[in-house]
Structure 1
Amino acid sequence: MLAGLTPEQLAIALAATLAAAFVRGLAGFGMAILLVPVLGLAVPPREAVVVANWLGLMIGLVGLKKIVGQSERSAFVISALAVAATPLGVWLLAITDPALARLLIALIALGSFTLVLLPKRPEHHAPSTAETGTTGLLSGVLTGFAGMPGPPVVPYYLRREIAPQLARASMMTIFLATSFAGVGSALALGVATWREPMLAAILFPTVLLGNWLGHLAFGRIDDKAWRIFTGLVLGVSACAALWRLLHT
């Protein structure tokens, strides 16, 4: 066994990682939302969340200067609040029964599918301070609990009439910060073990490949097709995880 995984479990992890990284490269988000529910079927939920955070941190450092330079100012405010709120999410994960955690994580992924497909805001809509703050705090809690900072962040940017390049870079900046906070909080609270960075190192080449393929596809499809494709992928992943949970 490699990193404590059977060949079947490793195959599931590699397939989920490739698909999730492709979506991340294409859309700028979605890796954790896709990866955690499926990876959580092969390893305990706590490990799946920490592995996702390790992978998010590692891939986020690739092209760091570029994404930070292209980000909206709001991304840095949301990042700071999310980092502060992440330990609360890690604590909630630590005291939650694994079976319940799997179900909640799958439901969070399913909820993100609905949020992505909501209608866009008016062209000149500017998020309020309260909306920006709430987005940051919720993103942090979900980072710690589910390894999924995306559900509040994705609609914050994608429902606005801003350039896809700006939305994508801003989300990537936030997800790098939340991955760092997720790994740090897990280590500080004793949730992390030696297995997660080992498994992340094994999966990282697959992340690089998937992210590169997704980046090639970015910009070659229009905005509407981009949103529909990503939403459907998130929905299929969440529904598959829910079906498996309800039939085991």
Structure 2
Amino acid sequence: MPEYLLSGLPSPGALAIITLIVALCAVFRGFTGFGFAIIAVPLMSLALPPILAVALAAGLQLLGGLLDFRSAARECHWPSVRQLAAGSVLASPLGTLMLAWLPADAARLVLAGACGIAVLALGSGHGFRSMPGRGTTVAAGALSGLFNGLAAMPGPPAVAYYLALPMTPVQVRASLLVFFLFSALLSTASLLAIGAIGRAEALLILAGTPLMLGGSRIGAAMFRRLGGAHRRISLLTLAVVAFLTAARGLAGMLGGN
């Protein structure tokens, strides 16, 4: 773990690592509409305490989402986002309660299994031929909230849901950007409430905002040129998340942590 400066900010070496991670993850987020926290938190945790990595990712995701909201709102599928958000809010506390009795590593294996099943189903061409009903969408949001409470990872269920819909890549990306803005708002509020975001963390979030904005713009430009690859890259990302989450869970259960 890196040494910290007297001001409470990370050392110059850690800051350099964080800068690179934020820039790369912002580009990926700009292309896919998701993935910033999923990728950034594990990577930043290699150089920072996990709670600080989560706080930085949540704050940057929130600011990035606010900056992108105006453009994303024009293409977003609002009915599905509202229903997903409702299900997420309802189920997130249940996920937290489950975490109290379900070991964290077992929760990671459950999440990895769900991601793996989604990747296999979507990769084989399964999906909705028409827009699903409200109950299905709220249930998908509930699953997202459940995983948020269990493992602080609401992303995979929402991503799998949108990839299964008969939507254009533009609409999928915009809807994910708006949904994760909502998720980041909830996460940041919770982190503020427990004191995980103070002056030093806020300074780091503000300092990283230009990287978030610039990387997202680069990713958005790549999406405009390579939008046809959106689904393949998103599925590959879900598969990698499933593999790494399962590996971490197994390592913990076998005494590897």
Instruction: State the TM-score bracket (shorter-chain normalisation).
Output: 0.7 to 0.9
CA shift digits 1:176-223 (9 cap, x unpaired): 1110011112223x1523143232222222111211110111131253
Q: Name the % identity.
A: 33
Residues 106 and 203 of structure 1, relative CA distance in 2, 3 Å threshold: farther
Alignment of 1:127-142 (within 5 A): 127-142=132-147
After TM superposition, the structure 1 stretch with the greater mean CA deviation from structure 2, 41-50 or 175-184, is 41-50
Q: Could you say which residue in structure 2 is the equivalent of 1:157?
A: 162
User: How many pairs were matched up?
Assistant: 243
Distance of 2:10 and 2:191 partners within structure 1:
21
Residue 23 (structure 1) aligned with residue 28 (structure 2): yes
8 Å CA contact 1:28, 1:169 repeated in 2: yes
Among 197, 201, 209, the residue aligned to 1:193: 197
Q: Distance in 2 between matches of 1:184 and 1:162?
A: 31
Q: Counterpart of 1:183 in 2: which secondary structure?
A: helix
Aligned 8 A contact 1:110 1:234 in 2: no
SS at match of 1:174: helix
- TM-score normalised over the length of structure 2: 0.76
Q: Within 2, Cα distance between the matches of 1:88 and 1:43?
A: 29
What RMSD in Å do the two structures reach over aligned CA positions?
Answer: 3.4
Aligned to 1:148: 153
Residue in structure 2 matched with residue 82 of structure 1 by the alignment: 88
Q: Which digits, 9 at most, give the CA deviation of each residue in 1:72-129, with x for residues without a partner? A: 1111111233244445666778x79xxx869966995796577456334356233243
Aligned to 1:209: 214
| Structure 2 unaligned blocks of 5 or more | none
Which has the higher Rg, Structure 1 or Structure 2?
2
Letter in 2 for 1:184: A
Distance 1:175 1:207 in 2: 15
Q: Distance in 2 between matches of 1:178 and 1:85?
A: 13
Q: With structure 1 as the length reference, what TM-score do the two structures score?
A: 0.78
2:129 aligned with 1:124: yes
Contact 2:169 2:230 in 1 (8 A): no
